[in-house]
Every structure is written in C-alpha cells, then in structure tokens.
Amino acid sequence: MIQELIDAFDRDITTCLIETNSELIEVYDRYDGPQNERRCYIKSEDNHPVHFELKNPTAANVVFAALDNCIFSTQDQSRCDFSIGNFQKLYFIEIKQVKRGQRSSARKDAIQQLRSAISIFREKIDLNQTQLIAVIALKARQVYPLQSATRVAEMVAFKEDFNASLMEGQSHTF
C-alpha cells in the first residue's frame, strides 16, 4: 500500500508513511512545536499522549499515513488527521480535542474533514474492494455508532456516499 500511496500523490511522502504489524498501535496528534512537526505520529515514547489506539490482534500489516500537515499541506483544504489500514480495511481518523459544549461543532467539522480525505483517496486509489471506516475521535474511549436522528442521517449519508461506516471513539480493533 505504501507504493500505491507514493504513486498516487506524485511527490515524496515517505516521511508521512509507516508500515507496521504491531498488535497495539497508539497514535497522537502533536499540537505544539514547529509548524512542520504538527501532525499525527505513532507513539514511540512513554511521555507521548495517546489520542487513538488501533488494536491489531492478528498482527496484520497496516500502513499509517499522516495526512494533515504531511501528505496534505496546511494550505490545502482541511482533511482528517491520518489513515491506517490496508486494502482490506482502511480507517480514516479525525482527532478532536474538545470541551463539553464543543462536541456538536467539532463533530460537524470532523465529518467534513473525513469526507474530504476519503474523496481524495478514492479519486487517486481504487478502494472499491476496501472496507472504509471513518472515525471521529472525541473524548469517549468506547467506539460506538452515532445514534441521534441527525447522527443516523450522517451515518446513512456516509454509507451512501462512500460505502464507509461512520463511528466515534478513541479505540478500535482491526
């Protein structure tokens, strides 16, 4: 999948990509430091926070791709933070650090960012046989489907537009 991504984006994005078969993949979004380092990373040190974790009990080979401020520049339209997976199953994740009253607005922004990233990927790479999962990572630790009438409508629209499941949570099992 790494080569397909490199070919699709037609520029050097190798520093944005990591292949792994770890059974636990912990990802954090770096908000501080130099602008060119503000992106998502796989946690490599104990002092790094964890904003999303992917449990990979079968040790499947997956590719982590830092999207926001790496594959996509800060000048590009807003995209989700990262993707992780392979051609069988591919997650698109948007991490939102929000306070209690900001969840609805953050969720709306996240859905647009996920839509944008998935659209670009589908234009560049054949994902017709790939199970797509879009995840909004807010504060809740448990992954759960969106439930209100508005959220169900958003889930249905995502399924119709992208054949992708729309979920919330900070942890998922591959």
**49-106 residue pLDDT tens:** 999 999 999 999 999 999 999 998 766 677 899 999 999 999 999 998 877 677 778 8
Q: Give the mean model confidence (pLDDT) for residues 129-147.
A: 73
- Which tokens go with 122? 């589908």
Contact (CB, 8 A) for 152 and 168: no
pLDDT of residue 127: 94
Q: CA quadruple 97, 71, 145, 88: dihedral positive or negative?
A: negative
pLDDT higher than threshold 50 for residue 28: yes
SS3 107: helix
SS3 17: strand
pLDDT of residue 99: 73
Burial profile 31-62: b = 16 or more Cβ within 10 angstroms, e = fewer = eeeeeeeebbbbbeeeeeeebbbbebeeeeeb
Distance (Å, whole) CA 30 – CA 88 = 28
139 confidence band (pLDDT: 50, 70, 90)? low
Which is more confidently placed, 149 or 86? 86
Q: What is the enclosing helix (H) or strand (E) of 143? A: none
Considering the chain, what is the average pLDDT of its residues?
A: 88
Contact (CB, 8 A) for 4 and 18: no
Contact (CB, 8 A) for 146 and 152: yes
Only one residue has tokens 């982590």, namely: 64
CA torsion 117-120-122-125 (nearest 10°) is: -110
pLDDT of residue 143: 45
Which is more confidently placed, 170 or 131? 131
